[in-house]
Structure 1
Amino acid sequence: MEVREAGLGDLSGIVELHSRARVAYYGAGGLPIGEILTPELAREQREGWAAAITSARKRVRVAVVDGALAGVLAMGPPHTSGLDPRTTAQLYQIHVDPELWGRGVGGALHALFVRHLADEGLALGVLEVWERNTQARAFYTRHGWRPDGTSRPGPAQTPYLGMRRTTP
C-alpha cells in the first residue's frame, strides 16, 4: 500500500470511492439509496473534496493498493469554533473502498492522523460519526476514541456523534 498526498487528478476517484463507502455505511444503517446518492450530493461531494485538496489548512491523503484508490483521509482544523486549532485537529473523514474493509487501509490512514497530532504538537483529535454507523464507531473506539457528549442532526433523524482522542 502506498499513501500519498491527494491531488486534483485524484478527485474523480475520491468522489467515486466516497460514494461507494456512503452507500455501504448509510445503507447498512437503513437509509434508502435514493437519499444517499443524489445529484445535489454528488455535486457537493465534488466541490467539497476539490476545496479540501486545494486548501492550505486541510490535508487530504489517499491510500493506493495495486494501483487503485483504496482509501482517503481528510483532516485539518476543527469545525467547531469552541475548539482551539492550536491544540486540536479534526479527522473530517476516512473512507475505504468497502471491498477492502478489514484489510488495514483504514488503520493506516488513521495512523497518519495520529502522527499528524504528534507532529503538530496537538493534544486533542475530534471527529463526528453517524450514530447508526456501528462499524465506524467500533473502529474508532478500538483506536482510542471516546464519545464526547456532543451531537448534531444527521440523516434519518439519527445524529452524528462527537468523539475525541487525546494524544499519549
Structure 2
Amino acid sequence: MINERVTGSPIIRTALPAEAERIAALHHRARATYYPDGLPDDGTDWTAAWRGAVERPDGHVLCVVEQGEIIGVASFRTPEGAPAETVKLFQFHVDPGRWRSGVGTALHAACVEEWRADGRRTAVLDVHVDNRRAQAFYARQGWTPDPENPPAEGDHHLHLRYAVRPEG
C-alpha cells in the first residue's frame, strides 16, 4: 500500500476522510471542463461520496498534495462481480490549472504501482465521450478500448482497459 511518496515537489499519498470536501471541490473543477452546458446537478453530495470512497475498506483513494493543496486524486477498487485481479479506476482528476505539468502522469504511475503490488492484472475505466483531453491522456498511458465492453446505444462513456504488467 502506498502511504506516502515524494515525486519531485508534490507528495502522492493516501487521502484522508477529512479531505473529502477539498477532493470534491477539485472533482467539480475538473469535471466542469468537459460539460459544454455546465456540470449537471444530479443531486449527488460529492463530499459525502468522496468521504465514502476514502473510508471504503475495499477501495483506495490516492491524492497529490503540493504545499498543502490537493492537486490530483484517483479512486479505485475491484468492481462488483469482477475477478480479484481486476481493478476499476472510478475517478481520476487533476486540477485544471495543473494539466500538462506531469501531475497526472505521476498519479497514474502511483496507481499502477499499487495495482502491481496488489496483484492486479487488468484495470478498467469509463471516460465521458466529450472528454477528449482525458481520452488522449489515457491513450498516452497505454489504455485501449475495452473489447469486452463496447459502448451501448446512448451510452455517454467509452470503456477503456489497461494491462497491468509485472515490473521487469
Bin the TM-score by the shorter chain. 0.7 to 0.9
Q: After superposition, what is the alpha-carbon deviation per residue over 1:73-105, rounded to whole angstroms, capped at 9, x for unaligned?
A: 1011124x2x31x21111111111100011111
State how far apart, in whole Å, the 1-side matches of 2:91 and 2:152 are: 16
Q: Please tell me the residue identity of whatever aligns with 1:69.
A: I
Q: Please tell me the residue identity of whatever aligns with 2:157.
A: Y
What is the TM-score of this pair, normalised by structure 2? Answer: 0.85
State how far apart, in whole Å, the 1-side matches of 2:152 and 2:157 are: 5
Structure 2: any 5+ residue segments left out of the alignment? 1-9
Structure with the larger helix share: 1
What is the TM-score of this pair, normalised by structure 1? Answer: 0.85
Specify whether residues 39 and 87 from structure 1 end up closer, same or farther in structure 2 by C-alpha distance, changes over 3 A only. Answer: closer
Displacement over 3 Å in runs of 4+ = none
- How far did 1:67 drift? 2.1
Identity score, percent: 32
* Aligned counterpart for 2:33 among listed residues 24, 29, 46: 24
Partner of 2:64: 63
Partner of 2:41: 38
Residue 93 of structure 1 aligns to a residue whose secondary structure is strand
Q: Say how many residue pairs are matched.
A: 154
Contact 1:75–1:89 at 8 Å: present in 2 too? yes
Alignment of 1:38-117 (within 5 A): 38=41, 40-41=43-44, 43=45, 45-79=46-80, 81=81, 83-84=82-83, 86-117=84-115
